[in-house]
Amino acid sequence: MTSHPVRTPQSTDERRRGLTEEDAARRLAEYGRNEVATRRTVRLHTRVVAQLRDPLIMVLLGAVALTVAIGDHADSVVIALVIVVNTTVGVIQEVRADNAVAALSAMSAPNARVLRGGCEREVPAAEVVPGDVLALGEGDIVPADALLTQASALLLDESMLTGESVPVDKDLRSGRPGAATLSAGTVVVRGRGIATVTATGAASALGRIAALLEGRLEATPLQRRLAALGRVLAVATLALCLLVFALGLIRGLAPGTMAVTAISLAVAAVPESLPAVVTLALALGARRMAARHAVVRRLPAVETLGSVTVLATDKTGTLTEGRMVVERVWTPEGAVDFTGAGYEPFGDVRVDGRAAEPAELGPVQKLLTTAALCNDAALRPPDEPSDGTGSRWTALGDPTEAALLTAAAKAHCEEPSTLHQTYPRTDEAPFDSLRKRMSTLHGTPTGQLMVCLKGAPEAVLDPAVLDESAQLLDRAQDEAALLAAQGYRVLAVACGERTEAPTRAADAESGLRLLGLAAINDPPKPAAAATLAACRAAGITPVLITGDHPATAWAIATRVGLLSPDSEPGEVVTGQSLAAGTVDDLTAVRVFARTDPQQKLDIVEAWRDRGDVTAMTGDGVNDGPALRQADIGVAMGRRGTEVARQSADLVLTDDELSTVVAAVEEGRRVYDNIRRFLVYGLAGGTAEILVMLLGPLLGLSLPLRAGQILWINLLTHGLTGVAMGAEPVSPRAMHRPPRPPQQHVLGHGLWQRVLFLAAVVTMASLAAGLSARAVDAAWQSVLFLSLLAAQLGVVMGLRDRLLTRENLFLPAAVLASAGLAMAALYVPFLRSVLETQPLGGTEVAVAAAVGLAGFAAARLSRQPWLRRLVVKQ
C-alpha cells in the first residue's frame, strides 16, 4: 500500500462533526483498509527447492542416486530420510519466522470510536480512514497515526514504538516536538483526547516498521560454514573416487568392480549423517534451552548463539525491572532509601544503611500520604500468591503514580481506600506538559480543605507556589539536580491547608509547604551486572540501545557495569547525533539513547559489516526490524509484544537477560559437538580413502570390498556419529572467546587434527592387515575389523568429559557398533553378503589394539600443546 498526501479537516465544524459516511467510504476506496500489508505468500515447493540447494544436501542427493545404482537400498533409504527430515525442519522454521508481519495487524485496535456526521460511533479499526476524527479514552489503542486537536490530561504509553519507559504527556499547548502527534499502536494510559487521522495502513508508524521487516532472512553462520564445507567435500570426494577408479583400472581390475568400489567409497567419504547430527544437536539444544526458559523459534539459532560476539540489549524490562520504583525520598529533615522490587508493596525504609526508626518515618509518611492522595493510579494484587512463579502486583494507571503508592505502603502509610474516605477529593487540576504539576483538593475531618500537589521540581520549587525560605529552596533544587544527574525521575511534593474553599484546585497552588522530593527509577535487575560480566568473560561485547532519556541510559549503564563509574554522560550517543551523521564509528559506542527503529537497524548492520555475529534483545514493536536483521533476535516472552516475539529467533519466557547467557552456553555446546563429529567423520572417511589408495601399493590388491566399506560407514556414521550430538558442554565453554565469524568450520586446527587422526587410523589399520597377510590369515577381514575398531576408538577418545554419565547413549552406541562389527564376521548371512571370514582370537586382539591406538591418538590430539602446534603449522 502506498502513502498519499492527506487532507485533514481544517474547519471547526469539520472537527466537530467528522466525516460523512459517503466521504469515509470514498476515502476507504482511495487509501485502502487500515491494515499492514502482508507479503506475498511463498509457495511450498519454492521453500523446499531452496532447502535442497544446500551443497551438502546436494551431495547427499548424489549419494542416494549412487546407492540406488549399486543396489544398496538400505543406505539409500537412510540417507533419503535424513534429507527429508532436514528439509522439513527447515521449511517449518521458515514459515514460522514469516509470521512477523502478520502479527503487526494484530497490534491495531480491533475497533475505534470515530465521529461520523456529528455522531460518535464505533467502527472496525480497519475501516478508519485519513481525515476521520477519533475519540480516545483511557485504555484505548490508537488505531492510526493522528494529530491531536483536543486533550485533557492525555498520557500515552509509546514504549512499544519508542522504547521510552515513561508514558508521554500529550498537550496541544506544549511546544515540545511530537506533543500533538499520536502513533498507531500506542495506548492511552490516562485522560481523553480528540484527534484527526493523518495516516493509515502502510503509511502509519506500524506500516513503516512493517516495511523494515521485509528483508530476506539470511543464512546463519553455521549454515554458511556447512555450505562451504559441502562444496569442498563434493569436489574432493569426486576427485579422489575418480582417482581410485583409475588406479584400479591401471592395475587390471574389472571396470564394474572398480565402479562399485568407487561409488561405495564416495558414500563412505561423505559424512551423510552430518545433517542428522546437526539436527539432533540443535533439537537437543533447543530442548535444553526451553528447560532454561528460552524457547527457540528457528532451529539454526541454537548454534548461532554460540558464535555471538556482540549482544545489543534494550533497557526497559531487559536490564531493568520494567516497573517504576521509588528508590529515594529526600525531605528537609533528611533522606531515606527504599528496598524492594516492582509494584510489590513489600520492602524496607533505610537510613544510612540501617532500618529507619519509627520517629524518622514521620516526614516521609507525610510526603507519601500527600502523594497517594494526589494520585489517580491503583495497585492490583496478584491473582495467586506472589511466590516468584505466579503473577505479580501490577499498576493501573500512570506507572510513576503507582510507584508512589508502593512506596507509601512500604512506609506503612494508610491504605489508599482509607485515605480517600478520610480525605475525600473535591477538585483537581490534572497534570499537563505546560504546568508540569498536578494538584487536588480534599476535605478533612476538621472541616478544612487540604491542598496536595506534586510535579516537576522546576514547577514546584517556585516562590510563587511554596512559602519557604530561599535557603530551603536552594537546597531542594541542588538535591533535585543531583538526583536527575543520576538518572532519576524526580518529583517534588507539597501540601497546605485552606480555611476558605477556593473555586478551583489550580487557584490553591500557592503558599504551600515543601514536603520533599521523590526519586523514581526503573531499577536494574539484580542479576544484570553479573550477566554482563559473564558476557565479557565469554568474549561477548554488550551494547545498550534504548529509546529512553540519555541521562537515564547513562545511569543504568554505570550501575550494571556497562560503563565505568568514572565515565561521563557524554559517552552516551543519541539518535539525534546519529541522524546528524556526527558519529564516525558506531561500533565504538557502547550506549545509545533516544534511538528509532531505523537507527537500531543501522547499529546492528554496522557491527555485522565489521564481521561480528550480533544478538539483539527487545520487546517492543520498534525492536521488530532489528530483531529480524540481527543474526539472532531475542524477544521477551512476558512483557514483549507479539511483533517482537514473531520477529525473534529466541523468546525468553522469564524475561531475564541471564537466560541469554545460558542459551549462549548451549549454543557453544552444539557447535563444539558438530565440530567434534566433523573431526571424527572426516578422519574416518579420509582413512578409508587412504586405505584404498595405499593398500594396493603395499600389495593389498583390493583392500576392502564395496559392502565392507558401506558396513563400516553405517556403523560409524550411524547411531555412533549421531550420539555425538548429545555430548555435554565443555567446562571451558564460557571462558573462551567465541569463534571468529569468518572462521571456517574446519578452522582453528580442525583440519590438521582430521589429517593427524586419519594418518594414525590408516597406518594402524594397514599395519594390522599386512601383519595378517604375513601369517597367511584372512587379512581383508582383519583390515575391515581394524579400520572399524580404530574409528570407534577415535569417537571415545574425542569426548571432552571421558567418564561423564550425561550422554550414556554414546558408549552404548559404540558397544552396539562393535557387536554388529563382530556379527559381520560370525553371522552366516552377513558373512555371505559382506564377503568376510571368521577370525581367531589373535586377529581380534590385533584389531582391538588398533582401536586403542585410535583412542590414544584422539586423546593426544586434544592436548593443548599439540593443538597449538598444529594450528601454527
715-730 pLDDT per residue, tens = 887 678 778 878 888 8
d(CA 735, CA 38): 44
Average pLDDT, the chain: 81
Buried residues in 43-62 as b, exposed as e (16+ CB within 10 A)? eeeebeeebeebbbbbbbeb
Beta bridge partners of 113: 122
**CB-CB contact of 336 with 353 (8 Å):** no
Are β-strands 614-618 and 354-355 bridged in parallel, bridged antiparallel, or unpaired? unpaired
pLDDT value for 626: 79
314 catalytically annotated:
yes
Average pLDDT over residues 787-809: 91
d(CA 677, CA 94): 26
Q: What is the DSSP letter of 593?
A: E
pLDDT value for 628: 79
- Which has more pLDDT, 80 or 558? 558
Highest mean pLDDT among 175-184, 222-231, 510-519: 510-519
pLDDT value for 464: 93
Place of cell 551523521: 581
SS3 5: coil
d(CA 222, CA 612): 14
pTM of the complete model: 0.67
For the chain, give the percent of residues with pLDDT over 70. 81
| Distances, alpha carbon 686 to alpha carbons 25, 313, 354, 793, in Å | 72, 44, 70, 16
The phi and psi torsions of 102 (rounded to 5 degrees) equal -60, -35
Average pLDDT over residues 62-78: 66
**Alpha carbon distance, N-terminus to C-terminus of the chain:** 59
pLDDT value for 10: 45
Helix (H) or strand (E) holding 440: strand 437-443
d(CA 796, CA 31): 67
Sign of CA dihedral 170, 173, 179, 183: positive
Q: Residue 107: which pLDDT band, with cuts at 50, 70 and 90?
A: very low
Catalytic residue among 54, 169, 314, 432: 314
| 12-38+105-212 and 301-318+526-655 in the same fold | no
d(CA 614, CA 630): 6
Beta bridge partners of 617: 634
pLDDT value for 330: 97
pLDDT value for 113: 85
> What CATH number was assigned to the domain covering residues 325-521?
3.40.1110.10
| Distances, alpha carbon 636 to alpha carbons 67, 518, 617, 653, in Å | 48, 30, 8, 7
Are β-strands 632-636 and 650-652 bridged in parallel, bridged antiparallel, or unpaired? parallel
Q: Which CATH number fits domain 12-38+105-212: 2.70.150.10, 3.40.50.300, 3.40.50.150, 3.30.70.20?
A: 2.70.150.10
pLDDT value for 738: 84
306-344 pLDDT per residue, tens = 889 999 998 877 888 878 899 999 999 999 999 988 899
Instruction: Give Cβ neighbours of residue 544 (< 8 Å, ≥ 6 apart).
Output: 312, 313, 314, 315, 319, 553, 556, 557, 562, 590, 591, 592
d(CA 191, CA 189): 7
CATH superfamily of 301-318+526-655: HAD superfamily/HAD-like (3.40.50.1000)
Sign of CA dihedral 552, 555, 557, 560: negative
Task: Count CA within 13 A, CB hemisphere, residue 411.
Answer: 30
| Residue boundaries of the structural domains of the chain | 12-38+105-212, 44-103, 221-293+665-730+743-872, 301-318+526-655, 325-521
Alpha helices in 36-187 (DSSP H): 44-52, 55-69, 73-97, 100-107, 159-162
d(CA 575, CA 547): 8
| Distances, alpha carbon 667 to alpha carbons 304, 528, 604, in Å | 7, 21, 20
d(CA 600, CA 427): 45
Per-residue pLDDT for 76 more than 50? yes
Average pLDDT over residues 629-653: 77
The per-type count for the chain, helices as H runs and strands as E runs, is 32, 26
d(CA 267, CA 60): 8
Per-residue pLDDT for 3 more than 60? no
- Three cell numbers at 144? 492510526
**CB-CB contact of 125 with 116 (8 Å):** no
Per-residue pLDDT for 269 more than 50? yes
609-636 pLDDT per residue, tens = 998 989 998 877 667 777 878 888 888 8
pLDDT value for 873: 44
> What CATH number was assigned to the domain covering residues 221-293+665-730+743-872?
1.20.1110.10
Average pLDDT over residues 115-136: 86
SS3 488: coil
Q: Residue 51: which pLDDT band, with cuts at 50, 70 and 90?
A: low
**CB-CB contact of 182 with 146 (8 Å):** yes
pLDDT value for 15: 56
Question: Nearest Cα to 137, choosing from 185, 181, 190, 183?
Answer: 190
SS3 420: helix
